[in-house]
Structure 1
Amino acid sequence: MRDNVLVFYSRSVFDISATYKERFNELLKMAARLKDSCLAGERKVAGFTNLIGDCWYAFYHNEPILKGNINRVDDTQYEFIRHLLKNEEYVQWHSLTQGDDLLSVLTSISIAEQLLQNLELLNNDTYAVNSGQELGASTAQMKAHIRQLGETSISMMLQENKKKIRNTKKAVRTVGTMDGKKIENIPLSDQFKLASVIGQRKELQRIADLVGRFKKIAMKKQKMKNQRNMEFRNISTGHEVSRILPLELANYMMRPSKLDFLKRLSEQQTFVFGTKGKARKGKGPIIVCIDESSSMTAIKEQSKAFCIALLTIAKKQKRDFAIVPFATNIGEVVFFRKGQATTDDLIQFSNSFLGGGTNYELPLRESLNILLKSEFNKADLLFVTDGSSFLPTRFVEEFNHLKKKKQFECTAVVLTNLFNAIDLNVVQKFSDRVIEVNELFEAGDAFVL
């Protein structure tokens, strides 16, 4: 193994400007997995980084052009890239990767790691031939092996990982936008970190997909709520033509009712939309007590996504948001000011789960602590559980007293099925409303707190 290995893109077989070399060297700093694979390759074959840099350029640039003359030092690099450019799999994949930083880097990493695997196999075979002596493959043998791979294995390299690369990009987009920001606003370095984390934590993709499903439910419920507010709560009488209800305009258009309409208009008695905007009950913080007992393990990802989707509502309404996970004890309470969260916050929350029994009192007490410290008097508490727990009468009385004093409401979402034994009487003692569901996707009313 060589010491003082330099990971730097300096020599190319393409007609390339210095700007692109600088760009790849910047990417090496941003994408740890790219740098690590290049470093491992340099320890085997000098110039490995240049080869991967050219692979990146071949996929990123819209029309890469090889040099007419090359130095003999670059012969292996040239032959591999030449075969790459002629390959039909490359031509098809290049139509997607050109101009795409993330896809071109992920593809380059994939090629680098597969080349490393092949070189390792060559080393192992060479050891075997030499009866186990410390005689690995020479640099010349490795370079010859890379040239041979260029002729025979590029299609296989691309075919094996296209689907994986595409799914990784989709996962980066989905997970990265869980907190509501657009993918264009996520720094490229963060996208590379996400790609690495997602590779290790497959459930993040599933949670992000579920968040999207819950958001659709939330949007539908919010729309229905706003329509009801407009129809039933935000109507008054007046004479401003721009705010007159469509029904009243219909009266004006019909001859039998036209005179009556004009009379009521002059008396400011026609029905008009109000000016206060769409009414919304919730104005204070949202606190979610989420059951993480062992019985919730089967829907762990669903429950995480449910909380994150609720957080997006809080962000939109600029409301403080707290999550209190509980089982036998309470877990780490996470608090999001005005619903603001980073992708790292959401990943950390998604990766944790308590397990154990069910204790109602501890999360409810923690919720009171949050409320007592809050600058808001009104709040919405959402209590989600699939289990049962004992609550002392004295605590229930204390809780309900403070609930009235602080003017907050408690909604309980109770997951019921044949396997869960839940005493609804206990839940009803501290809740203003109980929503019984078989799964969280049926708890759409929770999104209009």
Structure 2
Amino acid sequence: MAVEKPEMARELKNRHVQLIALGGTIGTGLFMGAGSSIKMAGPAILFVYLITGVFAFFIMRALGELLVSDTKQHSFVNFIEKYVGKDAGYIVGWTYWISWITIAMAELTAIGAYVQFWLPGVPQWIPDLIFLLVLWGLNSVTVKAFGETEFWFSLIKIVAIVALIATGVILVAVGFKTPMGHASLGNLVNYGGFFPTGGKNFILAFQMVFFAFLGIEIVGVTASETKNPKKIIPKAINEIPTRILIFYIGALLAIMSIYPWTQYSSAESPFVQVFSAAGIKAAAAIINVVVLTAAASALNSSIFTTGRMMFALTSEKSRFHKLSRAQVPARAISLSVGIVGISVVLNGVMQGKVFGFITSVATTTFIVIYAMMLVAHLRYRKQMKGMLPKDGFLMPGAPITDYLTLAFLLFVFVVLFLQAATMWAAIGALAWFAILIIWRLTHRKLDNTN
């Protein structure tokens, strides 16, 4: 008699998945990094977000079709392994795990820095440790605890953006007087037009905006723990375009309508400048709460994702391929959290620049990870030719949209070589994949020999 494999608990509800998907598209990049992207491209940044958002949607639709085709799979890596090959699945899976471990380290370091805004005398490692232990505990209890935590983290970010957009609408409607003139939609075109910084800067902005979208795929990791995934996952993915329009385009429109784009600094959050203009004296403190929440949200998602990825990548005999009584991969989560916890020491030893470079390399690998998702989708479509389910969540325009999105990812990767800082990150990512491929091939030959 065959023994049934233990399955993870399907405790994530529609509202959990909706907010997890939303949290994956809104991070500290919008709250803190929008000033840099506005400074680089001016009002044209709206088109960059819009174009990148379209291709992010195609990536998610390709992933969504795969997830709905087999909801028992733990993550997109299982589909890459199934349709592209075990070696590809191995390389992408471990790359994804290590990338999120590195991102989690960076977010944990940021949490300590944000807490010091209020408690400058407290050593950074203390809030780091507290946040890590609390989120570790929540993720280890039940998947529902993770879902609830992420729900409220995401809700805080949503409230902040809605407040910003509402502030922008009110200030523009009354023609609010600012030190630089008046709040007006005319600010979008009165300072050099829509493309004031030229074509090169417009192109360079794509890599900044692309990295702001990292994390959209996390909703795919929730598929095996979601109630009624064939209904909830498609709904979450289909709402991505609306979220991008409202929360990215809407926020940036508000920001650049209140002040001319030339007045924003890459060193300060545009959100702080906008709320300060509206007379809110505690603007800096409020936004610090929001970015602290955004960092904690990213750390929470990292713990969830790395735990599930470790569970999926290890063999059934491994101690990390075990579920707790609550049907969560507690051991895999604990290992990931333990490695993330080294970040405070590493950041001190490596100094900020080296640690920042490693994080840049990790995020750059996502270009290849997303490309492999699309290749898996293309292989799936080829295998299912003429047999696609009528009730399936089919990607619109496939396979043409697959190829267009692959071309866009290649374009973003090429753009990385146009600046020294991003060029070295791209070279580092290529070196990482080369090392992992060589190691995998060597390891496989040794296994065959034995």
Query: TM-score if structure 2 supplies the norm length?
Result: 0.21
Structure with larger Rg: 1
| Higher share in helix | 2
Which of structures 1 and 2 has the larger relative contact order (alpha carbons within 8 angstroms, sep 6+)?
2
TM-score (norm 1): 0.21
In proportion to residue count, which structure has more strand?
1
